[in-house]
A and B are shown apart, each in its own frame.
Chain A
Amino acid sequence: MTDAASQSDEALLDRFQRAAFGYFLDHVNPENGLVADASRAGAPASIAVVGFALSCYPVAVERRWMTRSDAAARTLVTLRFFCGSPQGDEPDATGYKGFYYHFIDMTTGRRAWQSELSLIDTTLLLAGVLTASVYFDEDTASESEIRARADAIYRRMDWQWARDGGTTERQGWKPESGFLHYGWEGYSEAIILYVLGLASPSFPVPDDSFGAWTATYQWENIYDREFLYAGPLFIHLFSHAWIDFAGIRDRFMREKDSDYFENSCRAIQVQREYAYRNPHGFDGYGGDCWGITANDGPGFETLTIEGRERRFLGYAARGVPYGPDDGTIDPCAALASLPFAPELALSALRHFCARYPEMIRESRLPSSFNPTFRGGGSPRWMSPDYFGLDQGILVLMIENHRSGLIWSLMRRCPYIGAGLRRAGFTGGWLS
């Protein structure tokens, strides 16, 4: 990556965006449309990553990386799989009550790793399904079938069951033990989950569920910046990949005279400020090296480095400023912050290219790296795998920055508007 400095911002972004999209071509099963959770051999499919893939295909068509018919065919294969795969309470089904297991086998499509029936991952899958249903709007047999199957998938999801008799949604369910006995606490990526649950054409959650969830919010002043707190950076990005929150406000944001878009801007400033202050003295942290989020890590190991005991983590939900933080940076999350902080994100990207050129292979950013961890004689740890979530959020957020394509598509999705209105959002593009 020696030529990044000489490239224009637009050229640089195009290169990284296209390379990220390449993940979905490299790790898809064309027979069923499933996409691997990560690039490592034998990884199962992640339904959330499939959702990102479905959302990326329209980007690829518009960027002329793929023909519309190819994208439609890939989409249709995927939707046919999710319509037809087994649903039921047997432990190896693909899903239950219209929702899907977090991880499924790449070939058979059956539940993998004894994973949970995941509401948020099903939601991210559904976001991709709905993106496809809006984008593929032509009156052809394949595109008509895409729309019909998308609608069928949505209608089958029983969001009311997923409340387990309560007001708010549960996080998941397992056939062996029933509902996971924890729900959503505090601001999180679940905002799109509630929007789609409220908009369900068949099993809508009650109006007060969104308010019951937002009652757990915390509005904090940290480093002299006031924002709706959530620690991991991805929380401030994921729902925003599909929904343009600029200028629309729910009751909470009206109370605080802000909106969720502005909130992500502030959260990114807090991330950067934390990295600048670098309270734990990790290598590499600084104004251009930030992005602390849920991602891969060096592994659960404690080492003494320069006289200081350091406890490292594997895959974990890292966060700012309360931690956990083990010195692991996610360059994808930093670059995916582009719509909220374009100058900061581009500056970070150029820093990564200049300072750590060896970690960028074929213009693809790694899931994460840790300059403090120096295992095996290497100067720093770098995730050996690419993760579909990282590459997917990169494609979508770079596109939202460049053209606003996904945001404009989802504004046309009637479910998104309906869900937002039922959640109490007003103003902006909802007017």
Chain B
Amino acid sequence: MTETIVPPAGAMQDGDWSPKAAPDDRFHRALLDNVRPPAWRNPTPATRYNLVVIGAGPGGLTAAREAAALGAKVALVERDLIGGDRLNVGCVPSKALIRTARLYAEMRGAEDLGGQVPGDIGIGFPAVMARMRRIQARLSGAASARRLSDAGVDVYFGEAGFTGSDTVTVGNAVLRFKKALVATGARPLTPPIPGLAEAGYLTNENVFNLTECPPRLLVIGGGPLGCELAQAFCRFGSHVIIVQDDPMFLPKEERDAAQILSDALAQDGVEIHLNTTVVAARGEGTRKIVDLLCDGDKCSVSVDAILAGIGRAPNVESLNLEAAGVRYDTEAGIHVDDFLRTSNRRIYAAGDVCLKHKFTHAAEASARIVVRNALFLGRKRLSALTIPWCTYTDPEIAHVGLYVREARERAIPVTTFTILMHDVDRAVTDGEEDGFVKIHVRDGSDEILGATVVARHAGEMINGLSLAIGVGIGLRALARVIQAYPTQAGAIKMAAEAYSRTRLTPRLKSLSRRWLAW
């Protein structure tokens, strides 16, 4: 069943690629029914809460649910939509788009798999976005205000602000707490580029509201968001220009991973400008003119839309943290110790508002620590977490643990066991040979210090390595595990077997030969 999509009044005019609100279709209304019910009335505050959680993103939701399940009296305050970035403007919508984009790439590359390219590969962008909104609506059910309320959580919608060391106000309601958790997340950084604000630009907060695919899109920033969406929109038919001021994409990742990603983006047709800075932007009619600078050479490009993805800033303003004695700064966010406690012993923080690693799963894991430490005298440490991450380009780039450089800075000698995906049977049969598994091992042992996986499904593969690091399984044990054949994750076992072969020293070989000759 199809439905005509009606953009909300003033949301996006012809030639205006800066939509302010999502199209008002049944999927979006279903989403709002769950995450911001129009008729919602805030509850009457309890005398005192065991835990007041500010921010209903992944961290806040996790903490509120877990604390309530353990019998705590919990208040959860959200100023916008329950679900935070993950559900509304982050992982969920972007992965939905990426999936459709991959389908288009596979249709165009059908011959590589022995298939035929369909005669007419038309891009139905409204349908792509409608599917995305349908998925958002469906997944929002688990995070609905009603379900939270049923689980014993007092859900408040409104702006929260501290009024003392143990009180928060939401509108006229005063919430007293024994412990509080700030999990307000982060927002896109505003690029300090002259003229950009006036010209108009997209971020992750409004790009998913688009109803038309921009014919020409300039992406500022070669981090995870920029690379993922540059590839996706290119596959939807945009002429995408990506500008990165570093000489490589994903500068925190291994350079070989960045090289493979660069090749993949180029293969898709993305116009790549590395080592290049955006110095100015201006609107000219329906176009946006962007000035670029690369090693002293200037050039200008004309595009229809600009997407900025240069990083994220913690949401610390308007919380009146000073009233509660909570130290923070606008770059790093709220200052916490290894137990996620702030400078006010009653108040904790979790997720993007305080963490270096701004990921949904990191927010959830840190929120669980807070529940233990704040309510049950726990001593769980943030530094004890093993946090993997993944950039969902094609191929995906995933990492867990230490990078080689970090290990060497700590004077840990490292050997990296590398398996190329082109040597993995299942990757060959799938036609997904770009990438590798690299496992970094402490010399003289089989201890896994870290790993990077570049593969079509690297995000799935990294979890096995995260488990191994988390519970201390070494490569010797991994080499003994029997895995189903053929799988792409078999690359991990192949790396473990490569490690095992290094243990076959010349002396052992000699002894073996003598034994067999006897």
Contact = CB atoms under 8 A, between A and B. Distances in A.
Interface residues of A, number: 38
A309 interface: yes
Interface in B372-426: 404-405, 408-409, 413-418, 420, 422-423
A323 B436 CA distance: 12
Contacts, number: 88
A180 B501 CA distance: 43
A185 interface: yes
A119 to B, nearest CB: 15
Contacts of B416: 218-221, 229
A375 interface: no
Interface string B71-93: 00000000000000000000000
A114 interface: yes
Interface string A183-225: 0011000000000000000000000000000011111111010
B275 A279 contact: no
A221 B295 contact: no
Given A114-B297, A221-B415, A322-B260, A309 B109 contact: yes
A176 B263 contact: no
Contacts of B266: 311
B436 A322 contact: yes
Interface in B240-265: 245-247, 254-256, 259-260, 263
B498 A221 contact: yes
B292 interface: no
Interface string B488-504: 00000000001101100
Contacts of B111: 304, 307-309
Contacts of B423: 277, 279
Nearest to B417: A221
Given A186-B255, A217-B408, A322-B259, A222 B418 contact: yes
A324 interface: yes
A346 to B, nearest CB: 28
Contacts of A177: 293, 295-296
B12 to A, nearest CB: 34
Contacts of A255: 413, 443
A182 B415 contact: no
A64 interface: no
A241 B134 CA distance: 63
Contacts of B499: 221
A226 interface: yes
A221 B499 CA distance: 8
B255 A219 contact: no
B275 A324 contact: no
A215 B408 contact: yes
A373 to B, nearest CB: 16
A321 B498 contact: no
B433 interface: yes
A311 B297 CA distance: 27
Nearest to B414: A219
B422 A279 contact: yes
Contact of B404 (A218, A256, A279): A218
Contacts of B259: 319, 322-324
A361 interface: no
20 contacts: A116-B295, A174-B295, A174-B296, A176-B295, A177-B295, A177-B296, A180-B295, A182-B247, A215-B405, A218-B416, A219-B416, A220-B416, A220-B438, A221-B416, A222-B420, A229-B416, A308-B111, A308-B112, A311-B267, A322-B260
Given A216-B408, A255-B413, 12 more contacts: A116-B295, A176-B296, A176-B297, A177-B293, A182-B247, A185-B255, A221-B416, A221-B417, A221-B418, A224-B501, A304-B111, A311-B267
